[in-house]
């Protein structure tokens, strides 16, 4: 049985309102969705998070950046700097972690969790389904491990819950087309092994109220997880 995280209902409502993501801004988009589980109001929008995170835009068309058949949106691009190359477009994990804290005036803290591996990921998600503090969870993945589409890029998604019996994880993607019937818009489940594999050079950003940072760190340290920020 799927156990939704405590803030998943607010994540889903926000996701249905804002889908799909602006091109090249999956990180700020997923962060804005995740923050609804932590903050009651005054949540920075995608553009505010992108600016705080140092996101940069490659102004030309990059069809491979999107799943086949999904729309190209350039909302908010006018306020963002241009990338020097296609490879430097988008948002780094380190930039997003810092940007989330800056854009929220440090009302939240971000705990990075690098390459958790399948077994520790299972333990972490099971424990997160039981914690008392509010949190949002953003995964930095490589899409080739999570779908059968001709789409292979670095990407950010929001994690919503876990099913320990079927060994799957619920994720909120950034396009409606990637959702499945019976799930909220843009949402689907993926195997825990696949999610762990997709983060083999990446990881998770655990977003919590600043007052819950010590509790979040205590949880992750008890599972011997790495707190480094990755560069993939």
Residue 180 counted as domain residue: yes
* Domain around 207: 3-222
Residue 228 counted as domain residue: no
CB-facing half-sphere around the CA of 51: CA atoms within 13 A: 11
**What is the pLDDT at residue 155?**
97
Residue 61 counted as domain residue: yes
Judged against a pLDDT cut of 80, whether residue 80 lies above it is answered with yes
Residue 227 counted as domain residue: no
Total number of domains in the chain: 1
The pLDDT tens digits of the residues spanning 102-143 come to: 999 999 999 999 999 999 999 999 999 999 999 999 999 999
User: Under a CB-based contact definition with an 8 Å cutoff, are residues 140 and 150 in contact?
Assistant: no
Judged against a pLDDT cut of 90, whether residue 197 lies above it is answered with yes
Domain of residue 49, CATH code: 3.90.70.30
Which 3 state secondary structure label does DSSP give 180? Answer: coil
Residue 56 counted as domain residue: yes
Share of the chain above pLDDT 90, in %: 93
**Nearest C-alpha neighbor of 114 from the set 223, 3, 5, 24:** 223
**What is the pLDDT at residue 231?**
83
Cβ density class 199-214: b for 16+ within 10 Å, e for less: beebbbbbbbbeebbe
Query: What mean pLDDT is reported for the chain?
Result: 96
Residue 198 counted as domain residue: yes
Q: Which sign does the torsion angle of CA 219, 26, 149, 198 carry?
A: negative
Residue 55 counted as domain residue: yes
Residue 32 counted as domain residue: yes
Judged against a pLDDT cut of 90, whether residue 62 lies above it is answered with no
More confident residue, 219 or 61: 219
The pLDDT tens digits of the residues spanning 10-52 come to: 999 999 999 999 999 999 999 999 999 999 989 999 999 999 9
């Amino acid at each position: 049985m799927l156990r939704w995280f405590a803030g998943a209902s607010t994540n889903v409502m926000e996701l249905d309102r804002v889908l799909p993501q602006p091109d090249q801004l999956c990180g700020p988009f997923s962060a804005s969705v995740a923050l609804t589980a932590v903050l009651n109001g005054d949540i920075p929008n995608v553009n505010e998070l992108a600016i705080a995170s140092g996101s940069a835009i490659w102004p030309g068309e990059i069809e491979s950046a999107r799943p086949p058949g999904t729309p190209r949106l350039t909302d908010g691009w006018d306020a963002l700097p241009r990338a020097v190359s296609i490879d430097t477009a988008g948002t780094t994990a380190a930039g997003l972690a810092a940007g989330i804290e800056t854009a929220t005036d440090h009302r939240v803290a971000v705990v990075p969790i690098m390459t958790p591996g399948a077994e520790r990921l299972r333990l972490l998600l099971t424990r997160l389904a039981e914690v008392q503090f509010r949190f949002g969870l953003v995964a930095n993945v490589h899409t080739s491990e999570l779908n059968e589409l001709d789409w292979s890029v670095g990407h950010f998604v929001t994690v919503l819950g876990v099913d320990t019996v079927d060994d799957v994880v619920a994720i909120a993607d950034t396009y409606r087309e990637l959702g499945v019937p019976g799930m909220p818009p843009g949402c689907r489940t993926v195997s825990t092994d696949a999610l762990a594999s997709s983060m083999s050079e990446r990881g998770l950003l655990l977003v919590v109220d600043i007052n819950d940072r010590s509790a979040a760190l205590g949880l992750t340290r008890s599972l011997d997880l790495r707190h480094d920020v990755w560069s993939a």
